[in-house]
Structure 1
Amino acid sequence: MKRLILPGAMVAFIVLLALLAPVLPLPDPVRQDVANRLAAWLPGSPLGRDEFGRDILSRIIWGARASLAVAFASAAIACLVGTTLGLLAGWFRGLAEFFAVRTADVVLCFPPILLALLVVTLLGPGTATLILVLSILYLPGFVRVTYAEVLSARGQDYVEAVRALGAPTPRILSRTVLPNIAGPVLVQFSLAVAAAVVVESGLSFLGLGVVPPTPSWGLMIRGARATMEQAPTYLLYPCLALTVTILAMNMLCDALRDAVDRKGGTRAPKLRAVDRILPGLFPTREPAPLLEVQGLTVDIATPGGAIRPVEDVSFAVRAGETLAIVGESGSGKSITATAVMGLLPPVAQVTAGVARFEGRDLLDLPEEERRRLRGGAIAMVFQDPMSSLNPVHRVGDQVAEAIRAHRDVSAAAASQEAVELLKRVGIADPERRARAYPHELSGGMRQRVMIAMAIANRPRLLIADEPTTALDVTVQAGILDLLAQLRRETGMGVVLITHSLGVVAETADEVVVMYAAQVVERGTVAEVFARPLHPYTRALLAAVPEGDAEPEGIPGVVPRPDAWPPGCRFAPRCSFATPICERPQVLEQAGERLVRCIRWKDLA
């Protein structure tokens, strides 16, 4: 909350100054005095006069009134309409989802200036037209933010509890869902206001916004352009006012984002002020995630009702990094990977969440587009290479088939490239091995063939599901070295699903610990392994053999998906459990980490 004080005070001062403009002892901002045009200073005019002899200070303050009125009005309209559409789309899905999301996509297809030109041509310039244009421009942002948050919230237990009480849908949306998504919507509103001030000034500068003689910062900059050599300060003052206002608002946006993030989960990426004012002008220090999964939930239909093997899973992996997902069998690791790849069986479906690959939501793509990504930009290595390789085809032909499925090359060229791939993954005598059948190869060789198929089309993301299962230590080390080498050479991002914490410690940058369908801890490998915060993570680390010490087993087993215990799902097996653990658990921010334990501060 301390971060809100300075930017909040700055924005409040600017808004208050604009509101009090009519009662402040200021000269008339539209009154002309040609005899004193371009005067540097006059009594009562500390900033001088413009090209028509109008008081510059008065016009800056009245210009703030015009700019902020347009910005707040347009952001409020976009917020009201966009949040309503996002609520309906995320809750009812179906036709409402199609209408809201596709409408937002259509608006995003229009470049802002061209859309403004179109609307101004039809309706004529003016404040009302400007508010309409900006409302349309910022509508898709509110629709998308609200839609994504509702998808994440609708599957939560507290929403299901209200539905079980028989509450009507309007009450659920207004009293349960909306308060829980208010934080991101508020941040989006502050971003829209800040951006609208800039766009309003730009459109007014072009003659498409506020109509003279109404004061506006954009009109002042436009007027100062013709007198830059005679009175350069006349251009400086409105530019300085615009810059200070935008920086204050962007600082407030950053502080608001941190203040409203109470639930944990994946935070919105931090944006610098310059990125909001002039996006793309300077490269960011930290690259955007290659794959970003948020709130992923999977349901499986059974005769006894739907079960949920994956619930509210979130993580991100960047290019050139390895993210490990660990946990006992039945934790939901493999189903998470198959859901991201779009390979779930017909009885299973994703009911909430998003999985963005390079900005595109994989879960929302048509099957044809997902098929083009699978084996191309995104590849997967499955657990059992013997069952993944076709027993009646030679391994070289199967690698060549993976190449020809995504590239237009001849059969001979594909076969030659398959041999080169087998050589690259460390298979001796690749020409002879390419003519072999899967049963003629060892387990380690079969796994290397699977990796050769996965990297055949130079993927940007590799999902490896237990790539070293049932392999001896020497072969396991070779496979891991190969993956690390490919990652360094190509900048490929890797999602590694494994039971082995030793493998994680050796190869991964970040780790996600899953238990009973949920993420229970997430952070860098160094931090999580050095100071685990969740009792389950502690138990997993204690179960790893180390030296002569006898490993500690974890009592009990992972519960079935149709019999999750109330509150903390690890509580029945946890030696730290207390009655307070029967409460619902949420991911909490613990420094740079996330942990799903109500007692993590006591155990840290």
Structure 2
Amino acid sequence: MAVVAMTMLGSLAVLAVIGPLVWGPAADRPDPSAVLQAPSAAHLLGTDYLGRDLLARVLAASRLSLLLALTAALLGAAVGITLGALTAVVGRRSRRLLGALINLLLAFPGLLVAIFCSVIFGAGARGAVFALAVAATPGFARIAQTLAAGVAGTDFMAAARVLGLRRHRLLLRHVLPNIAEPLMLNATISAGAMLVALSGLSFLGLGVQAPAYDWGLLLSQGLTRIYVEPLSAVAPGIAIVYAGLAFQLLGEVLAGGVARRGGPPSAAEPAPRPSDARDPVADDDDDVLRVEDLEVVIPTADGVVRPVRGVTLALRRAEIVGLVGESGSGKSLTALAIADLLPERARATWRTHRFLGTDAAALTRRARHRQLATGLAMIFQNPASSLNPALRIGTQVTEAVRAHRGVSRAEAAERAVASLQRVALPGARRLLRSRPFQLSGGQRQRVTIATALMMRPQVIIADEPTTALDVTVQRGIVELLAGIRRDAGTAVLFISHDVALVAQLCDRVLVMYGGRVVENLPAGRLATGARHPYTRALVESVPDMAVDRNRPLRTADGTPSEAPDDITGCPFHERCAHRRERCVTEDPALAPLGAGHQVACWYPLSARSSREEPREAGTS
């Protein structure tokens, strides 16, 4: 099919180039002595009513027919793709308006739109091209809108927004490169459809006008003699079918190639919320990040869901704080809310949100994004989705420092080399010219850390940065984060399922369950001093070399509730072996239990042994 398609397209290209030069004079030369002749050796397809050779006219019309069809397809694609891709970079209101406009345009049949617009623009080649471009725009817009929606939700797109990149840069560098391949396939196929539609307009008298001519006009002129000399109408029709089929075959070949190699890669304004809740974490002037009573609300078809409720945390300079809990406990959503990277429909509220000494409520959205882009870095769990597959590593590593520090390309490249060397990546200059798919998982993760270090952030949020990495690479990433904290005084919020790793790396540990922090304690006391039953279950589920291999690991029975808002009392009471009547009816708040230790439990366990009877807080 590829050979056939390229042969057909090659013959059309040759005809378009040499057709008017070789057969143009014969096609335009009238011969009164040869008017309306039948096919003969001198005129293989016969002559028209002016005695002009019909075969020469069909061959010479190749250039104008193909040129007008390709022009209409390119114009429609350019306008439609721009319109659809803009939905990924504009605000919510503009996105709704663009979506409504696309839906409205799609409600009208394309051929009727083309006929109507050709009347408005005027009969002729130019009017037909513009009319077909208008008719093709909605289809391209809908495809681009659908593809752009997949790109808009990626980590690298969210990070680019927070970096403060202008919309045209988001569109040209992040959206269009990642949706270009399927759009090019669609444009190729639509070129054949444009050729047929253009011929149809010319056939109806709305397209190319005499003395110019294309295949559609020749077909219209030959139709009056179809019962006498059918070749005069059949020949232009064969040319139209031949060219349309060539473009369709090309599209099929390109689409098949894409399928064989896997195909192309396919936040609401937060506001402060008043609250009278008491903050169990003491205020500290050395805090670089402080959030009180954080809540994330997501509207769904079944009602409002609150996956994060009343979370309070603080990070001091050069401190590593661990955030642990089962999947679905709200760890990642908490981090995304702090970084202002929540999904579109999710909304974050808080009582207090101070970052680098500035109240977030006092900043505009643009100012807050700039502060986050320069002072906070996010290391995502999956570096493959964090890095834009369409851009080179050097472009992505230097993008933030060039956008916010105003450094030159050369200086930014030198800083990138130094940053990659700092994370122990050999061949830094070569890596800058590479693309993400050319690197291993560990290398990509180190690249994301190097990118984070380019802005010298004071806070790093690492969302499970060692997941899916082998043990050796995990150890290297952990040592790297510890070195960054030690050398630059950077605070780190380390999110992980690995309780043992968190106990080794972090200074403090926050344990989340059901969207809430249920315990806050020093990392050194995690193994022996955990007081909440859920924290104790997490610790005891980690095996060590002394564990009895003949007995199963201890786990907490049951699974987290999918709707924690529907639970009255303590969110963990359905799975807790130590629950009492009060746990079922009253929800405990996070309260001090000792120096640097808070727990949300009415009857915290003894620090000495999990086998001891629980005791009520404050009774001894």
State the TM-score bracket (shorter-chain normalisation). Answer: 0.5 to 0.7
Asked if 1:302 corresponds to 2:304, the answer is no
Could you say which residue in structure 2 is the equivalent of 1:554?
Answer: 556
Q: Alpha carbons of 1:475 and 1:586: their partners in 2 closer, same or farther (altered >3 Å)? A: same
Could you say which residue in structure 1 is the equivalent of 2:319?
Answer: 321
Could you say which residue in structure 2 is the equivalent of 1:515?
Answer: 513
Matched letter for residue 580 of structure 1: R
Displacement of 1:416: 2.2
- CA contact under 8 A between 1:319 and 1:493: conserved in structure 2? yes
CA deviations 1:204-251 (Å, max 9, x no partner) are xxxxxxxxxxxxxxxxxxxxxxxxxxxxxxxxxxxxxxxxxxxxxxxx
- CA contact under 8 A between 1:381 and 1:454: conserved in structure 2? yes
Asked if 1:597 corresponds to 2:601, the answer is yes
Which runs of 5 or more structure 2 residues have no equivalent in the other structure? Answer: 1-270, 606-612, 616-620
C-alpha distance in structure 1 between counterparts of 2:446 and 2:542, whole Å:
27
Matched letter for residue 329 of structure 1: S
Matched letter for residue 595 of structure 1: V
Could you say which residue in structure 2 is the equivalent of 1:371?
Answer: 369
Which of residues 398, 413, 425 in structure 2 aligns to 1:427?
425
How many residues end up aligned between the 2 structures?
332
C-alpha distance in structure 2 between counterparts of 1:438 and 1:511, whole Å:
33
C-alpha distance in structure 2 between counterparts of 1:396 and 1:338, whole Å:
26
Which of residues 141, 151, 160 in structure 1 aligns to 2:274?
151
Displacement of 1:557: 1.2
What aligned pairs does 1:463-474 form with structure 2 within 5 A after superposition? 463-474=461-472
C-alpha distance in structure 2 between counterparts of 1:307 and 1:457, whole Å:
35
Matched letter for residue 418 of structure 1: A
Q: Tell which deviates more after alignment, 409-418 or 363-372.
A: 363-372
Q: Tell which deviates more after alignment, 360-369 or 442-451.
A: 360-369
C-alpha distance in structure 1 between counterparts of 2:321 and 2:367, whole Å:
25
- CA contact under 8 A between 2:514 and 2:564: conserved in structure 1? no
Q: Alpha carbons of 1:591 and 1:421: their partners in 2 closer, same or farther (altered >3 Å)? A: same
SS in 1 for 2:574: helix
Could you say which residue in structure 1 is the equivalent of 2:328?
Answer: 330
Could you say which residue in structure 2 is the equivalent of 1:312?
Answer: 310
Matched letter for residue 581 of structure 2: P
CA deviations 1:233-282 (Å, max 9, x no partner) are xxxxxxxxxxxxxxxxxxxxxxxxxxxxxx6622345xxxxxxxxxxxxx
CA deviations 1:262-319 (Å, max 9, x no partner) are x6622345xxxxxxxxxxxxxxxxx521111111111111121111011111111110
- CA contact under 8 A between 2:394 and 2:433: conserved in structure 1? yes
C-alpha distance in structure 1 between counterparts of 2:533 and 2:420, whole Å:
43
Q: Alpha carbons of 1:524 and 1:446: their partners in 2 closer, same or farther (altered >3 Å)? A: same
C-alpha distance in structure 1 between counterparts of 2:561 and 2:408, whole Å:
51
Could you say which residue in structure 2 is the equivalent of 1:458?
Answer: 456
Could you say which residue in structure 1 is the equivalent of 2:588?
Answer: 585
Could you say which residue in structure 2 is the equivalent of 1:38?
Answer: none
C-alpha distance in structure 1 between counterparts of 2:352 and 2:279, whole Å:
17
Displacement of 1:345: 2.0
- CA contact under 8 A between 2:571 and 2:587: conserved in structure 1? no
- CA contact under 8 A between 1:264 and 1:586: conserved in structure 2? no
Could you say which residue in structure 2 is the equivalent of 1:535?
Answer: 533
Displacement of 1:421: 1.1
Displacement of 1:553: 2.4
Could you say which residue in structure 2 is the equivalent of 1:480?
Answer: 478
CA deviations 1:517-553 (Å, max 9, x no partner) are 0110002111233211100000000111211525322
- CA contact under 8 A between 1:340 and 1:362: conserved in structure 2? no
Displacement of 1:353: 2.4
Could you say which residue in structure 2 is the equivalent of 1:571?
Answer: 573
Displacement of 1:341: 1.0
Displacement of 1:330: 0.6
- CA contact under 8 A between 1:510 and 1:522: conserved in structure 2? yes
Q: Alpha carbons of 1:413 and 1:520: their partners in 2 closer, same or farther (altered >3 Å)? A: same
SS in 1 for 2:352: strand
Identity fraction in percent = 42
Q: Alpha carbons of 1:363 and 1:534: their partners in 2 closer, same or farther (altered >3 Å)? A: farther
Could you say which residue in structure 2 is the equivalent of 1:265?
Answer: 280
SS in 2 for 1:506: helix
What aligned pairs does 1:162-561 form with structure 2 within 5 A after superposition? 265-268=280-283, 287-549=285-547, 550-561=552-563
- CA contact under 8 A between 2:320 and 2:507: conserved in structure 1? yes
C-alpha distance in structure 2 between counterparts of 1:577 and 1:434, whole Å:
56
Matched letter for residue 309 of structure 2: E
Displacement of 1:579: 2.1
TM-score, normalised to structure 2, is 0.52
C-alpha distance in structure 2 between counterparts of 1:542 and 1:512, whole Å:
17
Matched letter for residue 561 of structure 2: P
Q: Alpha carbons of 1:332 and 1:382: their partners in 2 closer, same or farther (altered >3 Å)? A: same
- CA contact under 8 A between 2:297 and 2:346: conserved in structure 1? yes
Could you say which residue in structure 2 is the equivalent of 1:254?
Answer: none
C-alpha distance in structure 2 between counterparts of 1:337 and 1:361, whole Å:
18
Displacement of 1:563: 5.2
Displacement of 1:373: 1.8
- CA contact under 8 A between 1:332 and 1:516: conserved in structure 2? yes
- CA contact under 8 A between 2:519 and 2:599: conserved in structure 1? yes
Q: Alpha carbons of 1:296 and 1:437: their partners in 2 closer, same or farther (altered >3 Å)? A: same
C-alpha distance in structure 2 between counterparts of 1:312 and 1:467, whole Å:
25
- CA contact under 8 A between 2:394 and 2:413: conserved in structure 1? yes
CA deviations 1:86-106 (Å, max 9, x no partner) are xxxxxxxxxxxxxxxxxxxxx
Matched letter for residue 557 of structure 1: T
Displacement of 1:358: 2.3
Which runs of 5 or more structure 1 residues have no equivalent in the other structure? Answer: 1-146, 154-180, 182-262, 270-286
Displacement of 1:564: 3.8
SS in 2 for 1:301: strand
Over the residues paired in the alignment, what is the CA RMSD in angstroms? 1.9
Larger Rg: 2
TM-score, normalised to structure 1, is 0.53
Displacement of 1:364: 4.7
- CA contact under 8 A between 1:301 and 1:347: conserved in structure 2? yes
C-alpha distance in structure 2 between counterparts of 1:486 and 1:603, whole Å:
41
C-alpha distance in structure 2 between counterparts of 1:529 and 1:375, whole Å:
36
Displacement of 1:361: 2.1
- CA contact under 8 A between 1:522 and 1:528: conserved in structure 2? no
Matched letter for residue 574 of structure 2: P
SS in 2 for 1:339: helix
Displacement of 1:562: 5.8
C-alpha distance in structure 2 between counterparts of 1:363 and 1:430, whole Å:
40
SS in 1 for 2:303: coil
Q: Alpha carbons of 1:500 and 1:407: their partners in 2 closer, same or farther (altered >3 Å)? A: same
- CA contact under 8 A between 1:395 and 1:436: conserved in structure 2? yes
- CA contact under 8 A between 1:337 and 1:463: conserved in structure 2? yes
- CA contact under 8 A between 1:323 and 1:495: conserved in structure 2? yes
C-alpha distance in structure 1 between counterparts of 2:472 and 2:571, whole Å:
37
C-alpha distance in structure 1 between counterparts of 2:566 and 2:434, whole Å:
47
Matched letter for residue 495 of structure 2: I
Q: Alpha carbons of 1:584 and 1:555: their partners in 2 closer, same or farther (altered >3 Å)? A: same
- CA contact under 8 A between 1:403 and 1:414: conserved in structure 2? yes
C-alpha distance in structure 2 between counterparts of 1:332 and 1:464, whole Å:
15
C-alpha distance in structure 1 between counterparts of 2:283 and 2:473, whole Å:
40
